[in-house]
Structure 1
């Protein structure tokens, strides 16, 4: 199978809250990239008609929240795969720093950011 990912994903565990149409669920972040997230599938969660969710991720041992709108791409009983469709400036700054610290390669991070900018221009 051809690898379709364009962004490096880092394994990172953190608590997350999903909300959609007044419903709310607790989940755990499993991994994250500049473009998407992988969450544990919350107990009692069922897919709805709207693919967009509000997601709030709290970075452990900090007061940093990553707040975003994410679109459900795929799911199974263990996980939800989501594409980030909107993220505020503070959250993207924190996310960039988190990825920078975890990949340890400035050149690779800059390539990722350029690719993200290219995708935004194509939309």
Structure 2
């Protein structure tokens, strides 16, 4: 695919996923809304301007069902008011399996998912 066909040069496909989640650190917990999600990170919206330490490690917990959840360790990469971009620093095998399934269902194309997975390991 050449750049004219795909002007978005991201290595990972983001899925728009408006869902409530919880972000926590050692001493705080915040409710947030996931704006979008990828294998490499997420964009979150808070009810207040984000003024927390960007160098801290945070844990995002997204409950998909009673039996399934996604848990990722994140660091902040950029802040614009109450929207914060986070990079995934660590994700366990169960969470990556759930996230993979979620991304695959939303992309509707397993070839795109495989491309994202290859980019993740590069």
TM-score band (shorter)? Answer: 0.7 to 0.9
Residues in 2 aligned to 1:81 and 1:41: alpha-carbon distance in whole angstroms: 11
Unaligned runs of 5+ in 2: 1-6
- C-alpha distance after superposition, 1:27-69 (max 9, x if no partner): 011100110101002436422263321111122xx22211110
Q: 1:23 to 1:102 in 2, by over 3 A?
A: same
State the shift of 1:16 in Å.
1.1
Matched, 1:89 2:117: no
Q: Secondary structure at the match of 1:95?
A: helix
Q: What's 1:121 paired with? A: none
Matched, 1:102 2:110: no
So what's the TM-score if we normalise by structure 1? 0.84
Residues in 2 aligned to 1:108 and 1:77: alpha-carbon distance in whole angstroms: 32
So what's the TM-score if we normalise by structure 2? 0.85
Q: Is the 8 A contact 1:25 1:42 kept in 2?
A: no
Residues in 2 aligned to 1:4 and 1:108: alpha-carbon distance in whole angstroms: 13
Matched, 1:23 2:23: no
| Count, aligned residues | 115
Unaligned runs of 5+ in 1: 119-123
